Structure 1
Amino acid sequence: MKKKLVALTLAAVMTISMAGCGNTMSDEYVTINKYKGLEITEVEKTEVTDETVENTVKSYLTAAPLKTEITDRAAQDGDTVDIDFVGKVDGKAFDGGTASGASLKIGSGTYIGANGDYKGFEEQIIGHKKGDKFDIEVKFPDDYSESTLAGKVATFSITLNGIYEVSDDTEITDEWVKQNSDTAETVEEFKEEIRTKMKENNESTRQSQLQSEVLEALSEQVEVKKYPDGDIDKEYQAVEDYYTAYAQQYGMELADFLETYMNMTEDDFKKKAKEVAEESVKKKLACELLAKKKKLEPSDKEYEKKVEEYAEKAGYEDVDAFRKAYDEDTIRATILQEAVANYLLESSVQVEAASTDNSTDGSSSDK
């Protein structure tokens, strides 16, 4: 009996020991101390209510009001027209002077106005019918923002594709739905379409947040032995390039942008950017190790499918354009990290967020 008890105890110890070993892994770069049963903050599901659906429908209606095509008369003030045009100065096309399928409300003052003996762009469309092709001349203001065009006379060759009356009615109709939905034909069908999309978007957002949470939890369990040569520098440069490009959008140097918008010196930025780079590489190394050990690397077919999915989510119709916009290594790393995150989530434990509502004595306010 005693011998049997000792054997059972030893078996239990061995089971615990093996379970512990099974929850760690290591290579030349990192050691993962734990990856199963990671605790992450609970992410609640966002419910889609009738009110949120109605508000979303109203926003769609505002962005794309009902249009009724006019075919029995020429364009007049107040109409919305669909036009193609090519603008030239001294016989040469200029940047920003060409468009296809442009929507313009005549009288809105959106385009170049009258200047001296030259009429405005919009008023010269009045009197023309759908299908007409005609040339107009306008004169840019002397103080025009683009100095190379200031005070110049431009010729625009215009094709009038359509004339429309745009309704100010705020009520959605079946007619509007048919104009603006690829699948729905009635208001109720459209609302259900919106509800479905919102549910999908909410769940996608929730899943992304969970993936981020579990990767952060994994990172806390990782010890770095060494970084691969050049990886930190590459990540640091990516961070710096991102903020430099952002600063340029404001017409500013990086140092000025940091001080003005981020209340940060260049030295502070460099320190923070290095920390971000190190954290990024650490997470990348841990994910690569887990993916290799657990055989999570996507196949070529799975990879290509993911790239298409990412391109669509990012608003790219062309996958090649998406690939040109993003570094291939970055795309691969992102896909791999998503696969690892989903694997980790299977065994993760969601816990409620810690309450920040404390009583004056420092104890929890919940009794």
Structure 2
Amino acid sequence: MKKRIVAVLIASALTGGLLTGCSGQISNDYVTVKKYKGLEVPQVEAQEVTDDQVEQMIQSNLTTVEEITDRAAQNGDWVNIDYTGYIDGEAFDGGSDTGAELQLGSGSFIGATEDYEGFEDQIVGHSKGEEFDITVQFPEGYADPTKSGVVAQFHIVLNGIYQQNTAELTDEWVAEHSEDSDTTEEYREEMRGLLEESNEQDVRTQLESGVQDALLSQSEIKEYPEGAVDAQIQQANEYYSYIAGLYGIELSDYITQYLGTTEENFNASVETAAQQTVQLDEAIKLIAEKERLEPTEEEYEEEIAQYAEDAGTDDVEAFKEQYGEEELRMSVLREEVLGYLVDHCVQVEDSGESE
């Protein structure tokens, strides 16, 4: 692919450093971007929506969940439970959870052995609000060899019992539940359209990922802004510590047990990812400056308010405080520039690199 030659002469200092350009290359104090228009990315095509997918979506929409309060749990019910597992009287890593959702009879949890009933079997017959203890045996050949064949006790709190009900698709149901359709056939076409929109968004997401990879290969970092990489590393460590906490274990244990690596390799990977993130963000800022893509203050506020709404809150100021206004503004800018790069990229077959 031929390179577009762009001669840019800049004679004044701009915010964030001197912006220079030559043969399509732009640069400032932090980063040099060799090329950003016409980035080559792997070709992506939207998946065709099938009739089965349409019907699956309709069935999902027809299904409602009803809380059961007048009887005990039965096979087929969904339950919400808190549980804590013990081996020889000691709580064990990965054996606790709160608000876990489980369909009884699904076989998702520890099954029955010759001597003990299965985890799910022992919830059947209990009612909402009950606390009780069960004993199970991990199967031979369990993924964690230290638990293979081991007997464990679980303390369980049954928070709720739920039953799924599926309505029949009729014109009457459609009229009640859809703003755009009156008949079942119209509703099927409405659902097909939504799935097609989703597939198109998937294409856009893949292209955005492609242009990020291409931009990374077409940029060179000169100097990392002070504290930027450390901030990204801290953010990553806080995230993984939070995930580890959900499993009831320390970060070090999560790294070895669930990520399957050493702390040294984990830290090296986090540092590399942090450096790449900062490099990309600096390249994005530079392109935004060059192409005048910086959103207005009004646009920033509108997008951040939309982020907050998508997160289920109308308190925008609290949302900013929680996630950091600077990071939210960077997310808005990132979307704007990535959209520009996607609009100007070139999709190629069997190629994962930009020239």
Interval containing the TM-score (normalised by the shorter chain): 0.5 to 0.7
SS in 2 for 1:111: coil
Amino acid at match of 1:234: A
Q: Deviations over 1:54-88 (max 9, x none)?
A: 111112223459xxxxxxxxx9779xxxxxxxxxx
Task: Say which of 207, 210, 214 aligns to 2:211.
Answer: 214
Structure 2: distance between partners of 1:247 and 1:332: 28
Give the secondary-structure state (helix, strand or coil) at the position aligned to 1:36.
coil
Q: Report the more deviating stretch, 287-296 or 343-352.
A: 343-352
Q: How does 1:41-80 map to 2 (within 5 A)?
A: 41-63=42-64
| C-alpha distance 177-319 of structure 1, shift in aligned 2 (>3 A) | farther
**Structure 1: how far apart are the matches of 2:32 and 2:201?**
31
Task: Give me the whole-angstrom Cα distance separating, in 2, the residues matched to 1:76 and 1:226.
Answer: 66
Tell me, yes or no, if the aligned pair for 1:28 and 1:226 is still in contact at 8 Å.
yes
Q: 1:112 corresponds to which residue?
A: 129
Give per-residue Cα distances to partners, 1:18-48, cap 9 Å, x unaligned: 4992411010111111112111111111222
Q: CA deviation at 1:346?
A: 2.8
Q: Secondary structure at the match of 1:350?
A: strand
CA-to-aligned-CA distance 1:300-335 (integer Å, 9 cap, x gap): 2222232244344x4425252643542222221121
Aligned to 2:193: 196
Shift of the 310–199 alpha-carbon distance from structure 1 to 2, 3 Å rule, reads farther
Name the amino acid aligned to 1:33: K
Q: CA 1:246–1:176 in structure 2 vs 1: closer, same or farther (change >3 Å)?
A: same
* Aligned counterpart, 1:297: 294
Residue type of the alignment partner of 1:187: T
TM-fit CA distance, 1:190: 2.7
Contact 2:41 2:345 in 1 (8 A): yes
User: Unpaired runs of 5+ in structure 1?
Assistant: 1-14, 66-74, 79-95, 97-106, 116-142, 147-165, 356-367
Partner of 1:316: 312
| Residue in 1 that maps onto 2:113 | none
Q: Secondary structure at the match of 1:288?
A: helix
Once the two structures are superposed, what CA deviation does each residue of 1:218-256 show, in whole Å capped at 9, x if it has no partner?
Answer: 111111111111111000100111100000000000000
Corresponding residue for residue 39 of structure 1: 40
Amino acid at match of 2:199: N
Partner of residue 266, structure 2? 269
The one of 285, 288, 291 equivalent to 1:288 is: 285
CA distance in 2, matches of 1:39, 1:50: 34
Alignment of 1:5-16 (within 5 A): none
Within 5 A, what are the aligned runs for 1:236-255? 236-255=233-252
Q: Give the whole-Å Cα distance in 2 for the aligned partners of 1:340 and 1:114.
A: 53
| 160, 176, 179: which one aligns with 2:173 | 176
Distance 1:187 1:64, change over 3 A: farther
Q: In the aligned structure 2, how far is the partner of 1:196 from the partner of 1:328?
A: 35
> What does residue 332 of structure 2 align with?
335
Cα pair 1:35 1:221 within 8 Å, conserved: yes
Q: What is the aligned-residue identity percentage?
A: 37
Pair 1:29 & 2:34 matched: no
Q: How many residues align?
A: 259
Greater share of helix residues, 1 or 2? 1
Return closer, same or farther for 1:354/1:294 CA change in 2, 3 Å cut-off.
Answer: closer
- Does the CA contact (< 8 Å) of 1:178 and 1:186 recur in 2? yes
What is the rounded CA distance, in whole Å, between the counterparts of 1:269 and 1:206 in structure 2? 31
Task: Could you tell me which runs of 5 or more consecutive residues in structure 2 were left unpaired when the two chains were aligned.
Answer: 9-20, 73-97, 99-123, 133-153, 158-162
Paired with 2:334 and 2:280, the residues of 1 have a C-alpha distance of 9
| Contact persistence 1:307–1:319 (CA under 8 A) | no
Structure 1 Cα separation of the partners of residues 24 and 287 of structure 2:
11
1:161-203, Cα deviation, whole Å (9 max, x unpaired): xxxxx99566322343345445544323332332222222222
TM-score, with length taken from structure 1? 0.62
Tell which structure's C-alpha radius of gyration is larger.
1
TM-score w.r.t. the length of structure 2 is 0.64
Secondary structure of 1:48's aligned partner:
coil
